[in-house]
Chains A and B, each alone.
Chain A
């Protein structure tokens, strides 16, 4: 058993190590200067995990807490989006629509946060529920098309992303729902804002524990309940599951609703955590990054959590690399390379298993 786990974990470890090493070589080559590359990675670490030297020399705790807050913010959004994709994968569907579900979730959170007056203990949960419901609703559209009409979800979810962009960002946010301060919806009430956990100097908020709890809940559901087992069985082989008498359609509906709800929560974390309204554009394509997080994390909720925490820090810290003139797209480049290496992992796993099996045979 332990051997099997190692065999499964080793390729991932190898992949990530090799990816990071390769990134370093790539950066050194791109900059033509390995020293500058080392310095750039140093800046990235300071930006992603906190400027510890500055904290030690000046006693300014914000130098550490602030970067941690930014990393946590990105990590929690990546994690929820990644979970969304991973859950859909588990039931055998490729949810490329996390981006659209995220936008609707963000909008629902912003609207409920600004338009409804509730006591603080209720307001935030209601906003989160609204976001989850909006994301789920948007995910159930392609599910219905899939189950009723056989429309492939890759096509329908990716197209619905653009429908969501058009409806939310090109119409609602600049039209009927535009707030008094221009570009974007009205600001949410303070009762709907995600509480900040480390004081005002850092934007680390409830989003991080929320997303980690979501990962734990998804892991428990998929790996520790009958319902989760059935869901995975449907994903592994639909016909076999049907033959075994499992409710294939029911499990698909549920899993896609959960996937959409998770993506919707990712939007809510952005809106209620850092923007405090739906801005003119909820710019970064975190829904698509979620695909990368799911794949790098091996579609396992805890793997997705690990990769999201890593890449959240990397992306938040990447900004500081610009101080050295490194292009702002570099963190995404690393993410892409890591994905490539993890995809190649299957090849390595094949080599590993072949070696293991030969003596036994």
Chain B
């Protein structure tokens, strides 16, 4: 043994890598997503937060709106391929199939950047502007500051901010002429989830939140109000995981609430929710009667037996509409809030079977109509709960 063989091995490895790169550079027709693509399609950039792709929830909803619906593409092996005919229509939920104009792919090309850390948001947004994106989408309230900075710096670029309006340091909303913001009335959809949970539970329901911030507390407030409406005697346990990207934490907190007797768990915890649903699934495998209620996307596919329904937040639709408007050259700035009446939130189809399903769904539907008609206002904060419960 001497060190000569080691050196030789290193040299060989380097030589090998050099060879491979040369050979590859000659052989490939790199399908780089450059402007070489056909048609005058515009780039639409999307920055997702640290939760990343594959949360089956909020981020995936935004990606569905851009990649599947607006661009008509699927991501496989690191590159985009066009969807087969009919796949886009099949991906639409029932209530969106009847929209006019219908959802169909427009001439946009998605460019998606995931963020690794809080300080990546600003350079990522800027990078998309530099790449010539006709629209830059920032998904998540955590990108609010970065969006404001980059939008001010690039007045000719257009932005869509999801889940927050732009705010000044004192917390007051401000508008910029190149930023559209979309927020949701999560409390209204969560109210229906709570109402259904109240009708299904044997006495205790649970709420698993992500970060303990006012946005997530909106879900809790609506959920509690819903449970109190249909089942005033039911107990609501709430716990927060403190983040949106820790599946294990979600599972742990979910299992904890189940152990404390909750039999319906509603989560608003991003990727952590996958763990919550997993906990419910395992409890059911162990013979317990328990349900999970998903959030943001329809999470039925994660555990078809265990998922009662999902509180769907139409981030996908907001993203799609902004991309469509940019492609059609009629993007407008401004702040929008979407609730039940605008179909911005709502319950996914209830595919699970449970005793008394028809009556329960009828009751939930009646409540939905009361909210849509303005006859019922749902509290968006926990502080607003007592006065809501005091209503007749």
- In chain A, positions 329-352 with a C-beta closer than 8 Å to chain B are 329, 331, 348, 351-352
Please state if B17 and A36 are interface contacts (CB–CB under 8 Å).
Answer: no
The answer on a CB contact under 8 Å between B215 and A182 is yes
Determine whether the beta carbon of A28 is less than 8 Å from that of B13: no
B123, B126, B211: which contacts A280 (Cβ < 8 A)? B211
Chain A residues in 8 Å Cβ range of B7: 14
How many chain A residues touch B (CB < 8 A): the figure is: 70
Interface string of B212-238 (1 = CB under 8 A from A): 111100000000000000000000000
B301 within 8 A of A: no
| Chain A interface, DSSP helix/strand/loop, else mixed | helix
Q: Which residues of B contact A109 (CB under 8 A)?
A: none
**Residues of B279-330 contacting chain A, CB below 8 A:** none
> What residues of A have a CB within 8 angstroms of the CB of B243 in the complex?
281
| A292, CB-defined interface residue at 8 Å | no
Is B112 an interface position by the 8 A CB rule?
A: yes
A156 at the interface (CB under 8 A from B): no
Contact with A along B91-132 (1 / 0, CB 8 A): 000000000000000000001111111111011101100110
Question: Does residue A73 face the partner (Cβ distance < 8 Å to B)?
Answer: yes
CA distance A352 to B50 in the complex (A): 44
**Any A CB within 8 A of the CB of B52:** yes
Residues of B within 8 A of A328 (CB): 52, 113-116
Report the bound CA distance from A174 to B20 in whole Å.
51
Q: Please, which residues of chain B bring their CB within 8 A of the CB of A322? A: 112-114
- The reply on A275 being an interface residue by CB < 8 A is yes
Question: Given A280-B213, A351-B2, is A166 in contact with B13 using a C-beta cutoff of 8 Å?
Answer: no
B30:A36 contact, CB within 8 angstroms? yes
Residues of A within 8 A of B334 (CB): none
Check if A21 sits within 8 Å of B17, measured CB to CB: yes
> Whole-angstrom distance between the alpha carbons of A74 and B122 in the complex?
14
Q: Are the C-beta atoms of A319 and B123 separated by less than 8 Å?
A: yes
Q: Please, which residues of chain A bring their CB within 8 A of the CB of B171?
A: 179-182
The verdict on B391 contacting chain A, using a C-beta distance below 8 Å, is no
Q: Which of A21, A66, A175, A284 contacts B116 (CB 8 A)?
A: A284
Q: Which residues of A contact B167 (CB under 8 A)?
A: 181-182
Q: Which residue of B lies closest to A348 (CB)?
A: B6
> Interface code A280-319, partner B: CB below 8 Å = 1, 0 otherwise?
1111100000000000000000000000000000011011
**Contacting pair B10 A324 (CB below 8 A):** no
B184 interfacial by beta-carbon distance below 8 Å: no
CA distance A37 to B32 in the complex (A): 12
A203 close to B169 (CB less than 8 A): no
A126 at the interface (CB under 8 A from B): no
B: number of interface residues (CB 8 Å): 62
Q: Check B39 for interface membership: any CB of A closer than 8 A.
A: no
CB pair A181–B170 under 8 Å, yes or no, is: yes
Q: A21-B13, A22-B13, A180-B170 are in contact. Are A320 and B24 (CB under 8 A)?
A: no
Pairwise interchain contact B14-A17, C-beta atoms closer than 8 A: yes
A73:B119 contact, CB within 8 angstroms: yes
Which of A14, A323, A324, A355 lies at the interface centre, i.e. has the most chain B CB atoms within 10 A of its CB?
A323
**A351 near B1: Cβ-Cβ < 8 Å:** yes
* Residues from 1 to 17 in B contacting A, C-beta threshold 8 Å: 1-3, 6-7, 10, 13-14, 16-17
- Whether A282 pairs with B118 at a CB distance below 8 angstroms is yes
Closest CB in chain A relative to B226 CB, distance in Å: 24
A289→B118 CA distance, assembly (Å): 16
B383 within 8 A of A: no
Report whether B126 and A170 are in contact in the complex, using a CB–CB cutoff of 8 Å: no
A-side contacts of B214, CB under 8 Å: 182-183
How far is the CB of A50 from the nearest CB of chain B, in Å? 12
Q: Is B191 an interface residue (CB 8 A)?
A: no
Are B24 and A34 touching (Cβ within 8 A)? yes
Contact with B along A33-66 (1 / 0, CB 8 A): 1111111000000010001001000000001001
Task: Give the nearest-CB partner of A282 in chain B.
Answer: B118
Task: Report whether A186 and B122 are in contact in the complex, using a CB–CB cutoff of 8 Å.
Answer: no
Per the bound structure, the CA–CA distance linking A34 and B310 in Å amounts to 43
Q: Bound complex: CA of A318 vs CA of B114, how far in Å?
A: 11
Contact across chains for A24 and B78 when beta carbons are under 8 A apart? no
Report the Cα distance A326→B113, complex, angstroms. 10
| Chain A residues near B (Cβ < 8 Å) | 14, 17-18, 21-22, 24-25, 28, 31, 33-39, 47, 51, 54, 63, 66-67, 70, 73-74, 165-166, 169-170, 174-175, 178-183, 186-187, 200, 203, 270, 274-276, 279-284, 315-316, 318-320, 322-329, 331, 348, 351-352, 354-355
Q: Could you give 6 example pairs across A and B, Cβ below 8 Å?
A: A21-B10, A35-B24, A39-B32, A284-B116, A324-B78, A327-B78
